[in-house]
Chains A and B, each alone.
Chain A
Amino acid sequence: MSENETQMTQEAPKTQWGPIIKDMFILVCIMAMLGYLCKLAMVPFEHTSPTDSLVSIIRKGAVTNGTDETFLKEMALGAEQVKDFVNYADNTGRTPLMWAAYCNFNDSKASLDKDVARLYYVRQLLATPGINVKQTDRDGFTALHWAAWSGMPYTAVLLLEAGIDINAEDNSGFTPLMLAALRGNEQVTRVLLSLGADATKVNKEGKTASQLAAENERAYSKREARIFAWTRIPGLADFNLFELIFAPSREASYQGTIKLLTTHPTATSIETLKQEMVAAEAKASAEKAKAEETGADKSSIEANEATVEKAAEAPAQSAPEQAPSEQLP
Chain B
Amino acid sequence: MSNTPQKSNPLFKYFSEFGVLKDCGKNFWLTNFIQFFDGLSYFTLIIVFTLFLNKYCGFKDADAPYWVGMYTLFISMFVFAVGTICDIIGLRRTYLIGFILLIGGRVILGMGTDFGTEICGLTQESSRYFVMAGITIMSFGTAFMSPCISTSIRRFTTLRSRPTGFNFYYLFMNIGALLAGFAIVDPLLAWQGDVDGLLWVINFGTCCNVIAFIFTRFIDDDFYAVPEEKLNKKETATRRPLQLICEVAREKAFQKLIVFLLLTLGVRLVFTLQFLIMPQYYTRTIGDDFQLGFMNSINPFIIITGLILIIPILNKFSTVKLMISGMSISALSLVLMAVPPEWYFIIPGIETIGQAYFVAIFTQIVVFASGELLFSPRFSEYVARVAPKDKVASYMSLSALPMFIAKPVNGVVGGLLVSYLCFDGIAAKMDTGHIDFWHSPEFMWTIYLCMALISPIAIILTKDSFVSDHPEEDAEAKDDKAGIAEEKAEPEAC
Q: Which A residues have a C-beta under 8 Å from some C-beta of B?
A: 11-13, 15-16, 19-20, 23-24, 26-28, 30-31, 34-35, 38-39, 41-42, 45-48, 52-53, 56-57, 59-62, 69-70, 73-74, 77, 92, 94, 102-107, 110, 113, 139, 141, 145-146, 149-150, 170-172, 174, 179, 182-183, 205, 215-216, 218-220, 222-223, 225, 241-242, 244-247
Interface of A is mostly: helix
Measured between C-beta atoms, what is the minimum distance from A260 to chain B in Å?
Answer: 20
Closest 4 CB pairs of A and B: A56-B58, A219-B351, A38-B408, A24-B81
Asked if residues A105 and B352 are in contact (CB atoms below 8 Å), the reply is no
Residue picked from B283, B288, B348, most chain A C-beta under 10 Å: B288
Measured between C-beta atoms, what is the minimum distance from A51 to chain B in Å?
Answer: 12
Measured between C-beta atoms, what is the minimum distance from B374 to chain A in Å?
Answer: 25
Q: List 29 A-B contacts (CB under 8 A).
A: A15-B88, A16-B238, A19-B240, A23-B81, A23-B242, A23-B243, A26-B242, A28-B77, A30-B77, A38-B411, A45-B62, A46-B60, A46-B62, A53-B123, A56-B58, A57-B58, A60-B56, A73-B123, A74-B124, A105-B287, A105-B288, A110-B194, A110-B288, A170-B432, A172-B433, A215-B351, A222-B348, A242-B355, A244-B358
Interface residues on B, range: 35 or more
Q: Does B385 contact A (CB under 8 A)?
A: no
Give Cα distance in the complex from A182 to B354, angstroms: 12
Asked if residues A92 and B70 are in contact (CB atoms below 8 Å), the reply is no
Asked if residues B432 and A24 are in contact (CB atoms below 8 Å), the reply is no
Measured between C-beta atoms, what is the minimum distance from A181 to chain B in Å?
Answer: 11
- With contacts A15-B88, A23-B242 known, is A104 near B419, CB below 8 A? no
Measured between C-beta atoms, what is the minimum distance from A212 to chain B in Å?
Answer: 9
Asked if residues A104 and B288 are in contact (CB atoms below 8 Å), the reply is yes
Asked if residues B425 and A94 are in contact (CB atoms below 8 Å), the reply is yes
Asked if residues A35 and B70 are in contact (CB atoms below 8 Å), the reply is yes
Asked if residues B195 and A59 are in contact (CB atoms below 8 Å), the reply is yes
Residue of A nearest to B56 (CB): A60
Residues of B63-114 whose CB lies within 8 A of A: 66, 69-70, 73-74, 77-78, 80-82, 84-85, 88, 114
Q: Given the complex, which residues of B lie within 8 Å of A241, measured CB to CB?
A: 358, 362
Q: Given the complex, which residues of B lie within 8 Å of A45, measured CB to CB?
A: 62, 416
Residue picked from B61, B66, B124, most chain A C-beta under 10 Å: B124
Measured between C-beta atoms, what is the minimum distance from A3 to chain B in Å?
Answer: 15
Asked if residues B118 and A39 are in contact (CB atoms below 8 Å), the reply is no
Q: Given the complex, which residues of B lie within 8 Å of A182, measured CB to CB?
A: 431-432
Query: What would 19 more interface pairs be, CB under 8 Å, given A74-B124, A106-B287?
Result: A19-B240, A27-B80, A27-B242, A35-B408, A38-B69, A42-B412, A45-B416, A48-B60, A52-B60, A56-B124, A60-B58, A92-B423, A105-B288, A182-B432, A183-B431, A216-B352, A220-B352, A225-B349, A241-B358
Contact of B425 among A34, A102, A183, A205 (CB under 8 A): A102
Residues of B392-432 whose CB lies within 8 A of A: 404-405, 408-409, 411-412, 415-416, 419-420, 423-425, 427-429, 431-432
Asked if residues A24 and B241 are in contact (CB atoms below 8 Å), the reply is yes
Q: Given the complex, which residues of A lie within 8 Å of B234, measured CB to CB?
A: 11-13
Q: Given the complex, which residues of B lie within 8 Å of A13, measured CB to CB?
A: 234, 237-238
Asked if residues B432 and A31 are in contact (CB atoms below 8 Å), the reply is no
Measured between C-beta atoms, what is the minimum distance from B358 to chain A in Å?
Answer: 5
Q: Given the complex, which residues of B lie within 8 Å of A139, measured CB to CB?
A: 429, 432, 434
Asked if residues A60 and B408 are in contact (CB atoms below 8 Å), the reply is no
Measured between C-beta atoms, what is the minimum distance from B450 to chain A in Å?
Answer: 19
Q: Does B286 contact A (CB under 8 A)?
A: yes
Q: Given the complex, which residues of B lie within 8 Å of A61, measured CB to CB?
A: 195
Give Cα distance in the complex from A219 to B62, angstroms: 35
Asked if residues B118 and A106 are in contact (CB atoms below 8 Å), the reply is no
Asked if residues B77 and A174 are in contact (CB atoms below 8 Å), the reply is no
Segment with Cβ contacts to A, from B20-28, B156-164, B289-297, B470-478: B289-297
Residue of A nearest to B80 (CB): A27
Q: Given the complex, which residues of B lie within 8 Å of A225, measured CB to CB?
A: 349
Give Cα distance in the complex from A17 to B117, angstroms: 40
Measured between C-beta atoms, what is the minimum distance from A109 to chain B in Å?
Answer: 10
Asked if residues B58 and A46 are in contact (CB atoms below 8 Å), the reply is no
Residue picked from B73, B77, B284, B362, most chain A C-beta under 10 Å: B77
Give Cα distance in the complex from A284 to B73, angstroms: 43
Asked if residues B195 and A46 are in contact (CB atoms below 8 Å), the reply is no
Asked if residues B428 and A149 are in contact (CB atoms below 8 Å), the reply is yes
Q: Given the complex, which residues of A lie within 8 Å of B355, measured CB to CB?
A: 219, 223, 242, 246
- With contacts A13-B238, A104-B284, A146-B428 known, is A245 near B412, CB below 8 A? no
Asked if residues B124 and A53 are in contact (CB atoms below 8 Å), the reply is yes
Cβ proximity bits B302-329 to A, threshold 8 Å, 1 near / 0 not: 0000000000000000000000000000
Q: Given the complex, which residues of B lie within 8 Å of A174, measured CB to CB?
A: 432
Q: Given the complex, which residues of A lie within 8 Å of B62, measured CB to CB?
A: 42, 45-47
Q: Given the complex, which residues of B lie within 8 Å of A24, measured CB to CB?
A: 81-82, 241
Q: Does B381 contact A (CB under 8 A)?
A: no
Q: Does B342 contact A (CB under 8 A)?
A: no
Q: Given the complex, which residues of B lie within 8 Å of A74, measured CB to CB?
A: 123-124
Q: Does B125 contact A (CB under 8 A)?
A: yes
Measured between C-beta atoms, what is the minimum distance from B138 to chain A in Å?
Answer: 15
Q: Does B55 contact A (CB under 8 A)?
A: yes
Give Cα distance in the complex from A48 to B60, angstroms: 8
Measured between C-beta atoms, what is the minimum distance from A87 to chain B in Å?
Answer: 18
Measured between C-beta atoms, what is the minimum distance from A193 to chain B in Å?
Answer: 20
Residue of A nearest to B428 (CB): A149
Contact of A107 among B80, B117, B289, B348 (CB under 8 A): B289
Residue of B nearest to A61 (CB): B195
